[in-house]
Amino acid sequence: MSEHPVPVLSQEDVFNYDAYLFDADGTLWTHDEPIPGAIKFVQELISRNKKVFIITNNSSRSTRRYLQKVTRLGFPVEEKNIISPNTIIIDFCKRNPHFIRKGIYLIGNIGSKEALEEALDVECFGIGHDPMPDAAGEGFPSTITLEKEASCVVVGDDPHFSYLKLIKATNFLADPNCGFFIANEDATLPNDTYILPGTGCFAAALRTAVLPREPVLFGKPGEPMGRYLKNNLELNPEKTIMFGDRLDTDIKFGSVNGFDTCWVRTGTHSVNDVNRAIDGDDKSLVPMFTFSFTDVQ
């Protein structure tokens, strides 16, 4: 198999775009370590007056808190240039306020709760531990109560995901007017110790329970995030390129939204994965280019 199964983006061509979209973990940094050459490359783009955006599927913190990490790592990016599923959900709900007239049932964490409540002035409930009643006891499941009303269910990363939360979300979504929103469908989370199941695992369980209902996917590779970038940030797809390490999120996101795509070899997917994509049926997974930030002189 070829070391570079797709063309390498040349140093001359890499600066021919107006807008640059970057995945975060695995592309610009790994955990708390910047990828070699990434900071310098971003600095060079900004010095050339290019538009630079970090496009993350991480909905576990507000963009304000996310900016703290980006700044600490050394990337000169402003808060307005950090786009997460929370960004898109907030924009969507502001334009469709009937989804926030009541509360939001949130399968997520405190970061998502803070971001959504601050921007939308709505109560998000459901995060944290939600103990399951004794399933063997008399009265189950009549002992379960939906103590509040929800205008939508939002699914994000939740370390306390449980059968009881699945029951509650399923019953909220029995109302066809209740919105069904998913932050992302990432199968796993970046981690160098254990393989951690991601939001996509929780979303798959809820998808199955509420069939034939379909959710709105607000993260990569969903089209709502692409529409937001093109409409709100005035990006020209023909002059925009997406850099990422994952084929199923980053590269597919670029492909379905008409952006050029560039796979970086520093994260989740390998040369073997790219070769499998080339031989497979879903060509939206195949990147147009590959590139290493350390190649820039």
Please write the tens of the pLDDT for every residue from 209-237. 999 999 999 999 999 999 999 999 989 99
What percentage of the chain exceeds 90 in pLDDT?
82
pLDDT digits (tens, 9 = 90+) for 24-43: 999 999 988 999 999 999 99
**DSSP helix/strand/coil, 232:** helix
Mean pLDDT score, 64-74: 93
220 is in an annotated binding site: yes
Same fold, 13-84+221-295 and 86-217: yes
Report the CATH number of the 13-84+221-295 domain: 3.40.50.1000
130 is in an annotated binding site: no
**DSSP helix/strand/coil, 207:** helix
Mean pLDDT score, 15-28: 96
The contacts of residue 121 (CB under 8 Å, 6+ apart) are none
H/E stretch holding 94: helix 85-95
Least confident of 126-140, 174-188, 266-280: 126-140
Whole-number mean pLDDT of the chain?
92
Structural domain boundaries in the chain: 13-84+221-295, 86-217
pLDDT of residue 1: 44
Residues belonging to the active site:
23, 25
Residue 229: φ, ψ to 5°: -60, -45
pTM greater than 0.75:
yes
Other Cβ atoms less than 10 A from the Cβ of 296: the count is 14
The angle subtended at Cα 296 by Cα 294 and Cα 297, nearest 5°, is 110
pLDDT of residue 137: 60
Q: Would you identify the CATH topology of the domain 86-217?
A: Rossmann fold (3.40.50)
Mean pLDDT score, 251-263: 97
Q: How far apart are CA 59 and CA 70, in angstroms?
A: 15
pLDDT of residue 188: 87
Mean pLDDT score, 171-187: 96
Q: Is the preceding omega at residue 141 within 30 degrees of 0, hence cis? A: yes
23 is in an annotated binding site: yes
Q: How far apart are CA 109 and CA 200, in angstroms?
A: 15
